[in-house]
Amino acid sequence: MKFFVDTADTAEIAELAETGLLDGVTTNPSLIHKSGRDFMEVTKEICGLVDGPVSAEVVALDHAGMMREAEILRKIADNVCIKVPLTIDGLKTCKKLTGDGSMVNVTLCFSANQALLAAKAGATFVSPFVGRHDDNGFDGMELIEDIRLIYDNYDFSTEILVASIRHPVHVLESARIGADVATMPPAVIRNLFKHVLTEKGIEAFLADWEKTGQSI
């Protein structure tokens, strides 16, 4: 499974990239706003921090407007992935952009039928939002299972990019189902490293080492 970080904080991205575990980055207008920086400037900087896809989202709602914005965004760097909403105009834009060789992330997916449409439109990634799905009384992981089954049935190349991940269990369940990518806030990635027994083991080893009076 690929790990993407869901943030526009370049300091966080740079630190996580040093682990060698980061395969890409997703951003959205809310994350750009939170960064307090210029959209084009921060997107370009992020593209220089990772080799993998960096999702940059259009804000226009009509096909012509999306295409105009996409033309600007895909000139930022070769690893920009244009992010479009799962609407008719979004899928029109997806079909056109992927036909021209651009990567496209179709976002705000909340049903398996929507994911099927995204795959038929040639999406590079589809982003089902499991956390928001759970918040509204649905089962986010059941959605991922349905999409995985449908994509495997028809050998679609679109990658399932699980988004709106809230905790490490979402990551584990996504991996068990066979999702291609998990995009997470930095805090969730860091929580994947943590286990109380690991921490206790380190404490015990260090205590015993100190008793030896040795140094390395």
> Which one of the listed residues 34, 83, 96, 120 is annotated catalytic?
83
Q: 181: buried, middle or exposed (CB in 10 Å: 19+, 13-18, 0-12)?
A: buried
Contact by Cβ (8 Å): 51, 66: no
Residue with tokens 């939170």: 34
Contacts within 8 Å (CB) and 24+ apart, 157-161: 157/119, 158/115, 158/118, 158/119, 158/122, 158/123, 158/124, 158/125, 158/126, 159/2, 159/124, 159/125, 159/126, 160/115, 160/125, 160/126, 160/128, 161/4, 161/26, 161/105, 161/125, 161/126, 161/127, 161/128
- Per the DSSP assignment, residues forming a β-bridge with 207 are none
CB 107 within 8 A of CB 28: yes
| Identity at 164, one-letter amino acid code | S
Alpha helix segments (H runs only) across 100-167: 112-120, 130-135, 140-154
Q: Is-catalytic flag, 44?
A: no
The residues annotated as belonging to the active site are 83
